[in-house]
C-alpha cells in the first residue's frame, strides 16, 4: 500500500506543482507556494521512508527491525494528520481559484496536460487506488467520469486500467453506471463511434 501511495503522492504533487499551481500562480502570484513547499518537504520524508522500508525488507530478521517499524508507524501516523491538513488547505485556499477564475476550457486543458504528463504505469496504480479508497460509490464514479468528460477518447483506456486492477464487483458497478469505459473485448462493450 505504501508503494501505491508513494506513486499517487508523486504524481499528485507533480501535477499540482508543474501544471495546475503554475497556472494558478499566473493568476495570483505566490498564492500556491506554501503547498508547493509542502510537496517538496513531503517528498524528502517519503524518500527517507522508502529507504527505511527497503532496509526492513532486506533485513527482516535483523535486531533493528522492530525499532525501525515502530519509528515508521509513529511518523506515518503524524504524516497522515499533516497530509489531511495539507489537502484541506488546498481545498480551502486553492480550489476556489480553479472554480471561479479558470474557464472550463482551460480546466479541461489542465486535466489533459496532467493525464499526458503521467506515465501509463502510474495510471495503472492511481485509478484503482482512488476508486478502491473513495468511501462512497458516487465519489468513485465522479472521479472516473470527470476524466472521461475531459478525455472521451481515453475512456476505454481508463476502463481497461480499471478492469485489470479492481475487483469484479467494483468493475461491474462502475461499468453499469459508466458504460463508455468498457474496453473492447470485455462483456457489454459497445462501439461508441
Final residue before a domain boundary, out of 44, 72, 104: 104
For 155-171, write each residue's pLDDT tens digit. 999 999 999 999 999 99
d(CA 103, CA 112): 14
Residues 123 and 75 in one domain: no
Place of cell 464487483: 169
Cell numbers at 172, concatenated: 461491474
Q: What are the start-end ranges of the H helices in 20-154? A: 21-27, 33-58, 65-93, 95-101, 104-117, 120-133, 137-150
Query: Residue 113 domain-assigned?
Result: no
For the full predicted model, state whether its pTM sits above 0.85.
yes
- Of the chain, the percentage scoring pLDDT greater than 90 comes to 89
d(CA 116, CA 120): 9
For 174-191, write each residue's pLDDT tens digit. 999 999 999 998 988 887
Residues 1 and 96 in one domain: yes
> Which whole-number Å values give the CA distances from 100 to 34, 92, 107, 132, in the listed order?
20, 13, 11, 30
Cell numbers at 8, concatenated: 499517487
Residues 123 and 33 in one domain: no
Taking the CB of residue 160, how many other CB atoms lie within 10 A of it?
18
Mean pLDDT of 69-86: 94
Number of structural domains (the chain) is 2
Contact (Cβ atoms closer than 8 angstroms) between residue 19 and residue 117? yes
Residues 48 and 135 in one domain: no
Please report which confidence band the pLDDT of residue 192 belongs to, taking 50, 70 and 90 as the band edges.
Answer: low
Contact (Cβ atoms closer than 8 angstroms) between residue 130 and residue 7? no
Final residue before a domain boundary, out of 57, 74, 104: 104
Contact (Cβ atoms closer than 8 angstroms) between residue 151 and residue 111? yes
Query: Residue 114 domain-assigned?
Result: no
Amino acid at each position: 500500500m505504501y508503494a501505491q501511495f508513494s506513486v499517487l503522492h508523486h504524481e499528485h504533487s507533480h501535477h499540482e506543482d508543474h501544471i495546475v499551481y503554475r497556472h494558478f500562480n499566473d493568476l495570483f502570484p505566490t498564492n500556491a507556494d506554501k503547498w508547493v513547499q509542502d510537496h517538496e518537504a513531503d517528498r524528502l520524508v517519503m524518500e527517507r521512508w522508502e529507504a527505511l522500508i527497503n532496509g526492513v525488507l532486506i533485513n527482516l530478521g535483523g535486531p533493528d527491525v522492530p525499532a525501525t517499524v515502530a519509528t515508521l508507524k509513529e511518523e506515518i501516523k503524524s504524516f497522515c494528520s499533516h497530509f489531511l491538513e495539507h489537502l484541506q488547505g488546498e481545498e480551502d485556499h486553492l480550489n476556489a481559484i480553479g472554480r471561479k477564475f479558470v474557464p472550463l476550457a482551460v480546466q479541461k486543458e489542465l486535466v489533459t496536460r496532467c493525464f499526458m504528463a503521467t506515465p501509463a504505469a502510474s495510471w495503472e496504480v492511481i485509478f484503482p487506488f482512488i476508486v478502491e479508497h473513495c468511501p462512497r460509490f458516487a465519489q468513485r464514479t465522479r472521479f472516473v467520469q470527470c476524466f472521461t468528460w475531459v478525455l472521451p477518447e481515453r475512456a476505454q483506456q481508463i476502463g481497461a486500467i480499471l478492469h485489470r486492477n479492481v475487483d469484479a464487483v467494483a468493475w461491474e458497478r462502475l461499468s453499469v453506471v459508466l458504460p463508455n469505459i468498457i474496453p473492447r473485448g470485455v462483456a457489454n462493450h459497445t462501439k461508441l463511434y
